[in-house]
Structure 1
Amino acid sequence: MNLIGEHTDYNGGFVLPLAVDRVSAFAGRTREDQTVRLWSTHFKAYAQFSLEGLPETFDEQRANLPGWARYVLGVAAELTRSDIALKGFDAVVSGDVPLGGGMSSSAALEIASAEAYALFSDHAFSIGEKDATLTPIETAGLCQRAEQIASGLMCGILDQAASCLGQPRKAVLLDCRSLDYRYLPFEDPDVSVVVIDTGVRRELATSAYNERRQQCEEATQRLRDLIVQVEPENEQARSIKELRDVSPEQFERFKAQLPAVLQKRAGYVIAENERVLQVVKLLEEGKIEEAGKILWIGHAGLRDEYEVSCNELDALVDIAHEVPGVLGARMMGGGFGGCTINLVRNEAVDALRQAVEQQYPERAGREASIDICRAAAGPGHVVLN
């Protein structure tokens, strides 16, 4: 899950995610051929594909697979593109990450797939920091590309990196351009992370996600041209590649010359990058209550400027805002449905639960599910003889 920094990853910005105690898991055994056979306990569905001829055969095989299996195939295609020899396997795929809830279920499946290929291919490669074939960040980048080819969604690296880099009781500050990262303490015995699921599912590839990315690219180009026109000797302006490179001061000076929709999109991203750094400073100082306040502001930006929220997400944030002891809340993930993340004092969790159970059905016409999550470790495996 992402504490703060939504839609900044594909703009070269900063994100502040944490891996949580929910999993996508494979249980299976190695085959001696190039066939992968899978059974999904969630979808009650079977899938089979071949590792032979990848990545060239990806498109052909993809067309005959259910959506969830395309991610597993996509990871295989990217691993073989990296000259890693894979073996087939039989496995059951299961897990408890909410699907389509903004909690990175596809990234969890991709990282689990990479770990499964490493294990079932007799350790043809390994994932880790020291003496490993792939570092966690390289694995995240590989799985990001797998998602893009499997889904058509031009996602950033946030979700995959969070799944790979997770550590117990830690959040990760990730620079999505340099891919440098560092860990921050994220543990307060008096505060819980509460995830509330709207029950609304979204399909990002057919939503406005890719459109937002295109708008950000157009805004970047227009702002660079405007700044260079006024300041032709400004080398920093000439090197602007992404919205991350535009300072808040530059944006304020030139934003009126952008079309209204681009002004909103760029304004949100530039401000959200600043919010990430503000939350980092507050966490380092142990001021989690002050950090919570920034979540409210982030949600308002996602709702009003980036326009990726929905009535159900707004309802949950509004309900949370009226419960004493809720330090902050916002929508989480790509938007248009999914979950909210809430920082809540422990003594207020029951009050928040009751408020949601009483008010949300009336406001949204559906029920919401509520869960408490904790920062947890990244991928791993267990071998059973």
Structure 2
Amino acid sequence: MDSTTLLPPVKEAIEQFPHHFHEDAASYASPLGAAWAPGRVNLIGEHTDYNGGYVLPLAVDRVSAFAGRTRNDQTVRLWSTHFNAYAQFSLAGLPESFEEQREKIPGWARYVLGVATELIKANITLKGFDAVITGDVPLGGGMSSSAALEVASAQAYALFSNHSFSIGEDNATLTPLETAGLCQKAEQNASGLMSGILDQAASCLGQPRKAILLDCRSLEYRYLPFEDPGVSVVVIDTGVRRELASSAYNERRKQCEEATQRIRTLILENEPDNTEARSIKALRDITPEQFEQYKGQLPQILQQRAGYIIAENERVLQVVKLLEAGKIEEAGKILWLGHAGLRDEYEVSCKELDVLVDIARDVPGVLGARMMGGGFGGCTINLVRNEAVDALSQAVERHYQERTGRQASIDICRAAAGPSYVLFEN
């Protein structure tokens, strides 16, 4: 691959490597190589993944990237351009040494350590390496910077272990979804957040001009066309950063589990012959009709949480039908509804997200907008006619700071491919 065709973060990592790791190339066990993986946006289907439901993400042309060389020992040394910091750990002793090593390295490096731990648990042999890490996925912005880092880590381990294992579809050691599941476990262990598989799956499965319908229970997926030359995906960053583990994310998950159990019990008590009710495991298994019948017997807070998830799963399936019919513009209307549910029922929005959605609603040519990601900050996703992108940018510039005291940044994203790598000759 010609280095001029590489994405900017990949080129940056390659250029930065000799500045941070000064050993002679002959002292390494491989030529210079780079590995990367994309972040994602989620069109619709927020917080449905850990409820066994449906999600509709697409990987985007924003990546986390590694550039480096294989070492002759079991040490991994990393330089993060974002944090301006080194980190080092050893593959020797993993997985037993994970907890001990985890406490000695910065938070960003724990994800890389976590991925190594899960690969070793899967009986994959790894080699140490030195690498620079760069990226242009906004950190904490709801575009899955951590998942991009994890999936890029898995690709980097494959590359720097001299392809002792491989990631991909055809005859690979790990399929994309096996890789996603492994990276999901790494995230949970690194962060303490009991996240679903949405982010890692989107990064692993990305294809240009495609959205991905993923069933988060069966892990079945299929691609849907996501290409309208007249419509742009605009991501607007509130500038508000959140720590999901210290937010109400895990609390929401527990509330959904409680609502599921209560509704299941109510159905079985009132419909003893309903054998299907015995197999209810998550909110995804409860129909809108069943919820309407029994929601009055739930505490108000559980009504809100369950009501949002059940309606959101239906919204995903509505958008799928519209994309299949080539009606991207129509899909925008459903984004407004998704945001209202996240704001009012699931209560994971914040003032800044709501302001951005309100501003977007007043701009002709904005087809739909909603908060994206876990919530409490991050970004909004907007479907916008191309001719309205400048008007939206100007409206945000005019009104967002005066209403919030913050600066917002705007990006146009495109559906992109999943993880990849390049290896150069010495």
TM-score, length-normalised on structure 2?
A: 0.90
Q: SS at 1:148's partner residue?
A: helix
Instruction: Return the alpha-carbon distance in structure 1 between the equivalents of residues 421 and 279 of structure 2.
Output: 44
What is aligned with 1:313? 353
Question: In the alignment, what sits opposite 2:250?
Answer: 210
Question: Residue 233 of structure 1: CA displacement?
Answer: 1.3
Q: Give secondary structure in 2 for the equivalent of 1:18.
A: strand
What amino acid sits opposite 2:285 in the alignment? D
1:281 aligns to 2:335 (yes or no): no
Matches for 1:59-74 after TM superposition, within 5 Å: 59-74=99-114
Q: Distance in 1 between matches of 2:99 and 2:324?
A: 46
Rounded to whole Å, the distance in 1 between the matches of 2:71 and 2:151 is 21
> Residue 331 of structure 1 aligns with which residue?
371
**Within the alignment, does 1:261 sit opposite 2:294 as a pair?**
no
1:50 maps to: 90
Which string of whole-angstrom CA distances, capped at 9 and with x for unpartnered residues, describes residues 236-284 of structure 1?
1111000000000000000000000000000000000000000000111
What does residue 16 of structure 2 align with? none
1:178-257 to structure 2, matched below 5 A, reads: 178-257=218-297
Aligned to 1:83: 123
Question: Partner residue of 1:118?
Answer: 158
* Letter of the 1:148 counterpart: Q
Question: What is the alpha-carbon distance in structure 2 between the residues aligned to residue 266 and residue 211 of structure 1?
Answer: 13
Q: Which residue of structure 1 lines up, in the alignment, with residue 213 of structure 2?
A: 173
C-alpha separation in 2, matches of 1:159 and 1:295: 19
In structure 1, how many angstroms separate the alpha carbons of the residues matched to 2:78 and 2:239?
A: 27
Which of 16, 22, 35 matches 2:56?
A: 16
Distance in 2, matches of 1:268 and 1:321, equals 21
| Distance in 2, Cα, partners of 1:132 & 1:256 | 50
Percent identity between the aligned chains? 82
In structure 1, distance between residues paired with 2:136 and 2:327: 31
Alpha-carbon separation, structure 1, partners of 2:400 and 2:109 = 34
Q: How many pairs are equivalent?
A: 385
Q: Match for residue 414 of structure 2?
A: 374
One-letter amino acid of the counterpart of residue 421, structure 2: H
Structure 2 gaps of 5+ residues are 1-40
Does residue 355 of the first structure (1) align with residue 399 of the second (2)? no
> How far apart are the structure 1 equivalents of 2:329 and 2:385?
9
Other-structure match for 1:127 = 167
1:290 to 327, 330, 346: 330
Alignment partners' CA distance in 1, 2:165 and 2:345 = 44
* Corresponding residue of 1:102: 142
Residues 36-84 of structure 1: per-residue CA shift (max 9 Å, x gap) = 0000000001000000111110000000110100000000000000000
Matched to 1:35, the amino acid is T
CA distance in 2: counterparts of 1:169 and 1:4, whole angstroms: 17
- In 2: Cα distance, 1:149 partner to 1:234 partner: 39
Amino acid at match of 2:140: G
Deviation at 1:289, TM superposition (A): 1.7
Offset at 1:366? 0.7
- Runs (4 or more) in structure 1 with deviation over 3 Å come to none
Shift of 1:32: 1.2
**What is the DSSP-based 3-state SS (H/G/I as helix, E as strand, rest coil) of the residue aligned with 1:21?**
strand
Aligned-residue offset at 1:86 = 0.4
